[in-house]
Structure 1
Amino acid sequence: MTNQPRILLVDDESFILGSLSGILNGQFDVTTAEKGTEAIDIFKSSHFPLVISDLMLPDISGLDIITQVKAISPESQAIMISGQGTIDVAVEAMKRGAFDFVTKPFNSEHMIQLSLKAFKLYESLTENKRLKETIKNLAPSEFLGEHPSVKKLLDMVKTVARTESTVLLEGESGTGKEIISRMIHKNSSRVSGPFVAVNCGALPDGLVESELFGHEKGAFTGAHERLIGRFERAQKGTLFLDEINTLPLTSQAKLLRVIEERYIERLGSEKSIDVNIRLVAASSQNLWDAVEKKSFREDLYYRLKVIDIKIAPLRERVNDIPLLALHFMKKHNNKIKSTATGISSEALKAMMGYSWPGNVRELENAIEHAFIIAKGPSIMPDDLPIFNHAPANDKYSTLAEAERSIVIKALKDAGGNKYKAAKVLGIPRTSLYSKIKKFELT
């Protein structure tokens, strides 16, 4: 058995057949046929990634071979060769699905390179077809993946959803914590109630407690009317507190009391309001590290960590990247007109070799970007924005060094505009601020 790409050559002239076989034999596993019907029988018994056929054959036309090859295996590629090439025949061959049309005499190196390009397209189409089938056969879920960690995570979600326990989700920015929290809500007995999401890192300074617990008219300067807080809005439903690690210590103390006593008081009121909610909290940083640094209360940590679910970063489930990439392509296909209908094998390999500091969110942004600017039928590596961040050929001893370089490059390209840099990186501004602080870039 050989691992070389397989090619079926069809020509009724033994000299041409021998010559072409000699050219391609070094890089391909070549099978030959002198008649069109013979070639079709061979192809039916063993599909070939590539068929190279002469136009004029003694029994059927090379154009008919293209038609039948495409009907049997749409992903297979066909190259037409002819000594009597005309524009009309070439156009007809392309209409029938030919990869290219070559006139005799042909250049040896050109035929090798053309065949390699055709085979790469076959690989891309085959992989895209496999991924589409995989997506179709996956159990319905908003969180896609075949990695064991994903399957374990989804099983945990089903189990946890049946309870009323508080859940702590820990995972890097962009890993899908809000998606998991929504799945917990949708699979719970509270599904008919509201799902209220709060990004604690985006709450204005000094207004955290007002946003969470509400306030009465006149409670403070600027409180011109009563505000119903997020806890009340989530009554009989689920409250999702994202980036909970960013809460000030004073707010943490009040949140702890609410969790323990199950009631709130609006600012400016002494009236207690019972709250009936399911609480799901999330942190993009290791919350225990924050406890050790005294920036997060240990008693609140244990109150939140009744059930602790960790979500793996994308770099730890690399084999899910092609599946996710195609899923995002299908998603954006509904709203963006593009020439691309698939992803090249080179682009898939490139994506699988990238660390994705912004995780799944960054991957989706990269696919949307590539989908918009792609000029051909497949997304190519140059269509992806991910390699514009890090300097080429740099070698890093740690992932943190690579991530630091990417953040610096994004900030530089954005002219120091943090909003634009975060958008390019595919991460929230709060996460960018955390990375700036982490890498001491201020």
Structure 2
Amino acid sequence: LALLRAVQLRRQPVGRFMVFDAADAGTDPQWLAPVRRALEQEADSLVIQHVDRLDGPRLRGLWSALERANGMNRERPLWVAVTLRHTTSSGDLLRLLRLFPGTVEVPPLRLHLEDLQQLVSFFLARLGHGGQLVCSPEAMRLLMRLSWPGNVEQVHQMLRQVVQHRRTGCIQPDDLPPEARTVSRRRLSPLESMERDAIVQSLLDANGSKVKAARSLEMSRATIYRKIHEYGIVTSTT
């Protein structure tokens, strides 16, 4: 989604960008109605996520709505994109995809980390609202260690957190959220994320001392060492 937002910003910075998630269609019988309205009159750019989650009737309904929108005379051309994890043998899905002139396969970010620095610069320029905000080499090294299970959208959301408290200057490691100090390859539960964040903050407050951090958290030294390893927390000192 972050990549599609970037494309839209380059194409039409002032246009209305709308997103619909087809994963919601299973619990919303009226899901298609606002999509039709957006296609016909509301949106300049429209993204439908997880289109492969739609059932046959909704795929056919979406196909009809796209066909109708394609035949309309609009003051500004409509740009539409859909996202999906994989294609299937579904005839309805394949027919829908044939309406789109091109397909771009986006690999996981962890497989092209060489692009991360450019992505960070791009998002900071957009999120900084004209402010001169750059990423220090030290902070970038931390970002390069991450596996990014949320891909480009995770980068976007992390930098949004950063610009909430730093608008200009140079982003340092301490400006990054706790998740930037971990290299865990699995998604943490909400409770695990809270515990990880508390450990990271305690380590920062203790200048990296695990003994002091464990004491402030009322943990044993063995427990904090185990948790640091379990969560993949990167520490600068011992």
- Residue aligning to 2:39: 231
Larger Rg: 1 or 2?
1
Amino acid at match of 2:39: F
The residue number in structure 2 matching 1:207 is 30
Is the 8 Å Cα contact of residues 142 and 180 (structure 2) preserved in structure 1?
A: no
* Contact 1:212-1:230 within 8 A present in 2 as well: yes
- TM-score, normalised with respect to structure 2: 0.57
How far residue 306 of structure 1 moved from its aligned partner, in angstroms, is: 3.0
User: In 2 relative to 1, CA 308–326 (structure 1 residues): closer, same or farther, beyond 3 Å?
Assistant: closer
CA RMSD of aligned residues (A): 4.1
Question: In 2, are the aligned partners of 1:200 and 1:247 still within 8 Å (CA)?
Answer: no
Q: Distance in 1 between matches of 2:59 and 2:83?
A: 14
The Cα offsets for residues 2-28 of structure 1, whole Å up to 9 and x where unpaired, read as: xxxxxxxxxxxxxxxxxxxxxxxxxxx
1:383: how far off? 3.2
SS at 1:309's partner residue?
A: coil
2 CA distance for matches of 1:319 and 1:259?
A: 37
More helix by share: 2
> Quick check: 1:242–1:282 contact (8 Å CA) kept in 2?
yes
Q: State the distance in 1 between where 2:19 and 2:126 align.
A: 25
Once the two structures are TM-superposed, the CA of residue 312 in structure 1 deviates from its matched residue by 4.6
- Seen in structure 2, the aligned counterparts of structure 1 residues 328 and 252 have a Cα distance that, compared at 3 Å, is closer
- What residue in structure 2 maps to residue 285 of structure 1? 85
Q: Report the structure, 1 or 2, having the larger strand content.
A: 1
Aligned residue in 2 for 1:364: 156
Q: What letter matches 2:29 in structure 1?
A: G
Residues 386 and 310 of structure 1: is their aligned pair in 2 closer, same or farther, counting only changes over 3 Å? farther
Deviation by residue 1:74-130 (Cα, 9 ceiling, x = unmatched): xxxxxxxxxxxxxxxxxxxxxxxxxxxxxxxxxxxxxxxxxxxxxxxxxxxxxxxxx
User: What CA deviation, in whole Å up to 9, does each residue of 1:140-180 have, x standing for no partner?
Assistant: xxxxxxxxxxxxxxxxxxxxxxxxxxxxxxxxx54x12332
- 1:42-121 alignment to 2 at 5 Å? none
For the residues of structure 1 that align with 2:117 and 2:173, how far apart are their CA atoms?
13
Q: Find the aligned partners of 1:307 and 1:314 in 2 and give their Cα distance.
A: 21
5 Å matches for 1:25-424?
173-174=1-2, 176-181=3-8, 183=10, 186=12, 197-201=18-22, 205-213=28-36, 229-233=37-41, 238=44, 240-243=46-49, 244-260=51-67, 262=68, 275-276=72-73, 278=78, 280-286=80-86, 288=87, 291-292=88-89, 294=90, 297-334=92-129, 342-371=134-163, 378-385=170-177, 387=179, 390=182, 402=185, 405-406=186-187, 408-410=188-190, 412-413=192-193
Q: Secondary structure at the match of 1:355?
A: coil
What's the offset of the Cα at 1:320? 3.1
SS at match of 2:149: coil
SS in structure 2 at match of 1:245: helix
Query: How many residues were matched structurally?
Result: 187
Q: Please list every run of 5 or more consecutive structure 1 residues that lacks an aligned counterpart in the other structure.
A: 1-172, 214-228, 265-273, 395-401, 416-442
Deviation at residue 341 of structure 1 after TM alignment: 5.9
Deviation at 1:252, TM superposition (A): 0.8
Deviation at 1:247, TM superposition (A): 3.1
Q: CA deviation at 1:205?
A: 0.4
Identify unmatched segments of 5+ residues in structure 2: 196-238
Letter in structure 2 aligned against 1:358: G
The alpha-carbon distance between structure 1 residues 242 and 181, as it changes in their structure 2 partners (threshold 3 A), is farther
